[in-house]
Amino acid sequence: MNNQPPSAPSPALQAYGVFSDNINQASVQRIFAVFAGAMERKFTHVHLLFQSIGGSVGDGICLYNFFKSLPLNLTIYNPGNVHSSAVVAYLGAKKRKTSARGTFMIHRTGSGSQFATIPRLRGIEKSLILDDERIESILKEHIKLEAADWDKLNLQEVYFSGEEAVKIGLAHEIGDFSPPFGTLIYNV
C-alpha cells in the first residue's frame, strides 16, 4: 500500500502570443505553425493578443474553424481593433476578451468588379452571396442583434465598442492582455 500523498496536479502550461496583421494565407500559415509548436510543447492554454483590420473571408473562416477545434484552451484578446473577417476568426476562440477601448466592425462582403464580363459578374455575385451566408451563419451563432441592426448591415459597416461587444455576445468580458512579468511572448 502506498502511503504517499497524491501529487498535486501540474499547473496549466500557458503560452502568450501577439498577432497584428491582415487575415490572409500567409498570416494563417504563421498561426498554424505557432499553434503546432504550442501543442508540441504541450501548452494547455494559449493567450493571444489579436489585432487585425481583417482581410480574406475564406482565411477568416479557416481561422474560425481552426480556433474552434483546437484541443487546448484559447483566450483571445482585442486590444484595439478587430474588424471584418478578423471578427469571424475571433469568434472561434473558446474565451474572448476585449479592452474597454477595443472596437469591432462587421460588414457585408465586397468585391472589385472593374473590367468584368457579364459571366464573371455572375460568378462574383454567387461568390459574394456565399461569403455573406457563411459569415452571417457564424455571426448569428455567437451574437445577438436586433432585426434593425441586421438590416443596418445591408447598408453600412456596423461598429461595436468593447462594452457593446460584451452585451451582444461577441466578446465574453472586458479584459486586457496582461502576461505575467518575465513571460516569453511569441510573435505570430
Beta bridge partners of 93: none
pLDDT in tens, 53-111: 999 999 999 999 999 999 999 999 999 999 999 999 999 999 999 999 999 999 999 88
CA distance 30 to 129: 29
The count of other CB atoms within 10 Å of the CB of residue 85 is 29
- Look up residue 179 and give its three cell numbers: 502576461
- pLDDT tens for 114-168 read 788 999 889 999 999 999 999 999 999 999 998 988 999 989 999 999 999 999 9
Confidence at residue 29, expressed as pLDDT on a 0 to 100 scale: 98
The three cell numbers locating residue 32 = 498554424
User: Residue ranges of the domains in the chain?
Assistant: 14-109+116-187
For position 162, what pLDDT does the model report? Answer: 98
**Are 92 and 68 spatial neighbours (Cβ–Cβ below 8 Å)?**
yes
Q: How far apart are CA 26 and CA 32, in angstroms?
A: 10
Q: Residues, the chain, total?
A: 188
pTM over 0.75: yes
One of 3.20.20.140, 1.10.40.50, 3.90.226.10, 3.10.580.10 is the CATH number of 14-109+116-187, namely: 3.90.226.10
Cα distances from 124 to residues 72, 75, 76, 152, in angstroms, run 37, 35, 33, 23
Write b or e for each residue in 41-70: b if 16 or more Cβ atoms lie within 10 A of its Cβ, otherwise e: eebebbbbbbbbbbbbbbbbbbbbebbeee
Judge whether 122 and 142 are in contact, CB under 8 Å: no
Listed in order, strand segments (DSSP E) in 1-140 are 14-20, 45-51, 73-78, 81-83, 95-98, 103-106
Higher pLDDT, 51 or 6: 51
| pLDDT score recorded for residue 22 | 98
